[in-house]
Amino acid sequence: MSGIFITQAQNLVPNPSFEDTLNCPANQDEVYNAPPWFRPTIGTSDYFNQCYSGGLTNVDVPGNFEGYQFARTGNAYTGIACAGYVFFPDNRREYIEARLIDSLIAGKKYYIEFYVSLSDSSIWAIDFIGAYLSKDSVYDYTTLDTLPFIPQIENPAYNKITDKINWTKISEFYTAQGGEKFIVIGNFRGAASTHADTLSGTWYNAYYYIDDVSVIDSNDVGINEYQENNYINIYPNPCNGIFQVAIDSDTYSLEIYNVLGKTIYHSEINKQKTEIDISNESKGIYLLKILTDKEITIRKIILR
* CATH code where residue 294 lies: 2.60.40.3080
pTM: 0.74
The mean pLDDT value for 123-141 works out to: 92
89-93, 106-110, 174-178, 245-249: least confidently modelled range? 89-93
The reply to whether 145 and 161 lie within a common domain is yes
pLDDT digits (tens, 9 = 90+) for 53-64: 999 999 999 999
The reply to whether 195 and 47 lie within a common domain is yes
Nearest by Cα to 43 from 202, 199, 213, 185 = 185
pLDDT band at residue 266 under the 50/70/90 scheme: very high
Q: Output helix, strand, coil percentages for the chain, rounded to the nearest 5.
A: 0, 40, 55
The reply to whether 138 and 80 lie within a common domain is yes
The reply to whether 7 and 96 lie within a common domain is yes
- Residues 192, 198, 204, 208, CA torsion sign: negative
State the average pLDDT for the chain.
87
* CATH code where residue 54 lies: 2.60.120.260
The reply to whether 249 and 211 lie within a common domain is no
| pLDDT for position 7 | 44
Q: Which of 176, 198, 228 is the last residue of a domain?
A: 228
2-11, 203-212, 243-252: least confidently modelled range? 2-11
Give the dihedral of Cα atoms 248, 165, 223, 174; nearest 10 deg. Answer: 160
pLDDT digits (tens, 9 = 90+) for 19-67: 999 899 999 999 999 999 999 999 899 999 999 999 999 999 999 999 9
Nearest by Cα to 70 from 185, 162, 203, 166 = 166
**DSSP SS3 for 33:** helix
Q: Which of 228, 252, 269 is the last residue of a domain?
A: 228
pLDDT band at residue 6 under the 50/70/90 scheme: very low
Q: Residue 86 above 70 pLDDT?
A: no
The reply to whether 283 and 161 lie within a common domain is no
286: domain range?
Answer: 232-303
The reply to whether 219 and 237 lie within a common domain is no
Q: Which of 228, 255, 277 is the last residue of a domain?
A: 228
Beta partners for 77?
48
The reply to whether 236 and 213 lie within a common domain is no
Nearest by Cα to 88 from 186, 209, 196, 208 = 196
The reply to whether 221 and 282 lie within a common domain is no
| pLDDT for position 226 | 34
| Residue 303 half-sphere exposure toward CB, CA atoms < 13 A | 19
How many domains in the chain?
Answer: 2
Is-contact 17 74, C-beta < 8 A? yes
Nearest by Cα to 132 from 30, 47, 213, 223 = 213
75-79, 103-107, 155-159, 222-226: least confidently modelled range? 222-226
